[in-house]
Structure 1
Amino acid sequence: MNKDQKNEKDEIVTLAIHSFGEAQILKTMLESEGIPVQLANVNLIQPVVSAGVRVRINKKDLPHALSIIEQSHFSESAIADEKRAGAMKEESYVLIPVDFETMTEKICDMGIRYAARHKMSIVILHAHYNPFYPAPMFVGDVNTIPVADEVILRKTLEEVQGKMDTLKRQISEKMKSGALPKVEMKMMIRDGAPEEVIKGYSHRHRPNLIVMGSRSKEKKDADLIGSVAAEIMDSNRAPVLVVPEESHISDFSDAKEVAVATSFEQSDLVLFERYIQLFGHLNPRFHLFNISTNDRQWDEIQLNAIREYFKKQYPTRQIEVNMLDAGDFGTALDIFTTREKIDLIVVNTYKRNFLRKLIFPSKARRMLFYADTPLLVMPH
């Protein structure tokens, strides 16, 4: 065995991030097929929005593991949940998941301004993850936790509640002073891995919009499987606005130059119409651009047809059609957004199975990783 083969055999990769219960189910399922699995808490020190339980396996076992997941009821149950969620009606509120970090104030302000403009309420949701005992310990019929750890957990919960109270007070003061418009507000703390809590709540009570924060491009992991924002974008049936740390806009009305990612297909035309319905009160300049950067050239006849379609359908809108440079997607996107001074990128996403999400990142995930521009993801 050569050195490279040995390194691949020993290399451990993260297959997925789930709540403890789901991680345990996946672990049992894979180990029954002869695949060793490690479970690791994402953050043992502080419960933050990126917390959860990592399901880790040897890199050499990845193809086998993906095959098992694809053929199992593990993914089918998730699909069933999606179908049930799809039957639920949208509710008139904006969901704002928070972690009390640097992005919290910015995303709350944006969500509140949007809600006020559309006469909606807001729900500020914090997922509190218990990193010490994600599952109860039983002695006979008695549920027990060591006293020392119980004290730590109680203190942690008190700290989380204190942060939520502080946030509520700060927002209320802004509303009272006129810095923010007044809207009906609900503050909630739920136990569990953030992505599971957010998905679960938004599936039961589908919001008009979800507003989330993300880290800068330099701080994002190359592997987006574990990104909470990415998981919510790919699984949710409500529009999701992801605001990066570097964003200079604090309201949708600040977005004067809006880029719309497209493959110039029928589904993308529907996406554009839905965006117009959501933000019809704004009149930015739109820049439609291609998601692919391969060497295939769109001929002038096709581009002219697209321009004519939008000119006829939206005569009062400023709409341009742009082509990204061929080559590396990240570089091409960066050049485009800088040159056109893009304030917001709009992209659609599709429901896809676990394997396709892992091997072929969606347009939305690619945007999330490469862009330091606010990203509005419209579910298909």
Structure 2
Amino acid sequence: MYIRFLIPINFEPYTLNAINYSSLLAEKFQGEITLLHVFTPYFDENEETDDNHKRLSTIEDTYNELENIKDQTIKDFNNPNITIKTKVIEGYPEDAIPLFCTDYSPDLIVMGTKSKGETIKELLGSVTLDIIRNVNFPVLAVPTDYDLNLNKLNNILFLTDFCKGEYTSLHKLVRLTMSFNTVIHNVQYHPEGKEKADVNLLNEYLEYCATTYRNQKMEAEFIYGDDVLQAATEYIKNTDIDLLAITRKKRNVISKLLHPSITKTMLFNIDIPMLFFHQ
């Protein structure tokens, strides 16, 4: 299976970490990785980044730096199944990346994110938030301090409504993770407690999973509590979840997780990658 990864790069360490994650993912497939940098001219060429690295002042310098990163990645992973390309375009990232995605159609966009202790704009990066909201392709946000070990992709939490509308996202999730010996925990948060949960809906969902994904380990259950974030965080810790997947859609309780302040709270409590699908 051939998977196309798009990694937006701004040369900061937190975005470069996304290359490592994507490269290891690509080893499980025949993979193509495109390293994309959006070049935005700056008025002050001496302006420095947070990590005291000078901003690259010309497209040529940017392209050369991106090629250096490509060469180092190829050397580090030495895998003939991985094709690595580079692309430099001009504009503003929040506008240029979605436009590039329209033509490129990536299977997965991988965005590196900053560490805890930042404001919400710095934590996810305003560009990451914009990309999550404005593209129709899966987006994976990888924290810079995440302990990268793809041999330990044992448990994935898919927060779902158990409705048929989620089947498309589930199919994409299985496709991306089918090469790993992992368990997908399909979990619905029910704010009104166990007695109000629709067991028939859960059983119908489980039956679909059993007949459609015979070789994929699946579990399905409800979680309860006064707060969806607290319930999800407790489940993540108790079940040793390695990846959290959510479908972005309107008018459901899961969509509340995507509000910036709540997303910030979630990332302050867990340090695992978050995968966003779109519906």
1:217 Cα shift? 4.6
Q: Which amino acid aligns with 1:174?
A: D
Q: Does the Cα contact within 8 Å between 1:258 and 1:285 map onto a contact in 2? A: yes
Indicate the SS of the match to 2:166: helix
1:257 Cα shift? 0.2
Structure 2 alignment gaps of length 5 or more: 48-53
Q: Does the Cα contact within 8 Å between 2:111 and 2:128 map onto a contact in 1? A: yes
Q: Does the Cα contact within 8 Å between 1:97 and 1:126 map onto a contact in 2? A: yes
Partner of residue 129, structure 1 = 40
> Residue 291 and residue 159 in structure 1: after superposition, are their counterparts in 2 closer, same or farther (change >3 A)?
farther
1:169 aligns with 2:33: no
CA shift digits 1:222-266 (9 cap, x unpaired): 899973222212222222221112322344x53110111101211
CA shift digits 1:107-155 (9 cap, x unpaired): 11222333444323221011222242xxxxxxxxxxxxxxxx6898996
The 5 Å alignment of 1:1-380 reads 93-132=4-43, 156-157=57-58, 160-161=62-63, 163-175=65-77, 178=78, 183-221=82-120, 227-251=126-150, 254-291=152-189, 293=191, 297-350=196-249, 363-364=257-258, 368-369=263-264, 370-371=266-267, 372-380=271-279
Q: Which amino acid aligns with 1:102?
A: P
Distance 2:56 2:171 in 1: 49
Indicate the SS of the match to 1:282: coil
Indicate the SS of the match to 1:164: helix
Indicate the SS of the match to 2:71: helix
> Residue 235 and residue 362 in structure 1: after superposition, are their counterparts in 2 closer, same or farther (change >3 A)?
farther
Distance 2:98 2:247 in 1: 18
Q: Does the Cα contact within 8 Å between 2:28 and 2:179 map onto a contact in 1? A: no
> Residue 273 and residue 225 in structure 1: after superposition, are their counterparts in 2 closer, same or farther (change >3 A)?
closer
Distance 2:171 2:219 in 1: 15
TM-score (norm 1): 0.59
Distance 2:183 2:276 in 1: 18
Q: Does the Cα contact within 8 Å between 1:368 and 1:375 map onto a contact in 2? A: no
Distance 2:16 2:199 in 1: 46
CA shift digits 1:272-328 (9 cap, x unpaired): 123223333233111111255455831545444444443444444332223333123
Indicate the SS of the match to 1:103: helix
Distance 1:363 1:96 in 2: 24
Partner of residue 51, structure 2 = none
Q: Does the Cα contact within 8 Å between 1:116 and 1:181 map onto a contact in 2? A: no
Q: Does the Cα contact within 8 Å between 1:349 and 1:379 map onto a contact in 2? A: yes
C-alpha RMSD over aligned residues: 3.5
Partner of residue 61, structure 1 = none
Q: Based on CA coordinates, which of the two structures has the bigger radius of gyration?
A: 1
Indicate the SS of the match to 2:95: helix
Q: Does the Cα contact within 8 Å between 1:224 and 1:230 map onto a contact in 2? A: no
Q: Does the Cα contact within 8 Å between 2:114 and 2:124 map onto a contact in 1? A: no
Indicate the SS of the match to 1:237: coil
1:173 Cα shift? 2.4
Structure 1 alignment gaps of length 5 or more: 1-90, 133-148
1:95 Cα shift? 0.9
Q: Which amino acid aligns with 2:18?
A: I
Distance 1:245 1:225 in 2: 10
> Residue 226 and residue 95 in structure 1: after superposition, are their counterparts in 2 closer, same or farther (change >3 A)?
closer
Deviates more, 1:239-248 or 1:298-307: 298-307
CA shift digits 1:337-357 (9 cap, x unpaired): 11110001122224x7xxx9x
Alignment identity in percent?
A: 24
1:378 Cα shift? 2.2
Question: After the TM superposition, which parts of structure 1 deviate over 6 Å for at least 4 consecutive aligned residues?
Answer: 150-155, 222-226
Q: Does the Cα contact within 8 Å between 2:5 and 2:22 map onto a contact in 1? A: yes
> Residue 162 and residue 302 in structure 1: after superposition, are their counterparts in 2 closer, same or farther (change >3 A)?
closer
TM-score (norm 2): 0.77
Q: Does the Cα contact within 8 Å between 1:293 and 1:326 map onto a contact in 2? A: yes
Q: Does the Cα contact within 8 Å between 2:162 and 2:201 map onto a contact in 1? A: no
1:102 Cα shift? 2.0
Q: Does the Cα contact within 8 Å between 1:127 and 1:193 map onto a contact in 2? A: yes
Indicate the SS of the match to 1:207: coil
Distance 1:226 1:347 in 2: 19
Q: Which amino acid aligns with 1:254?
A: K
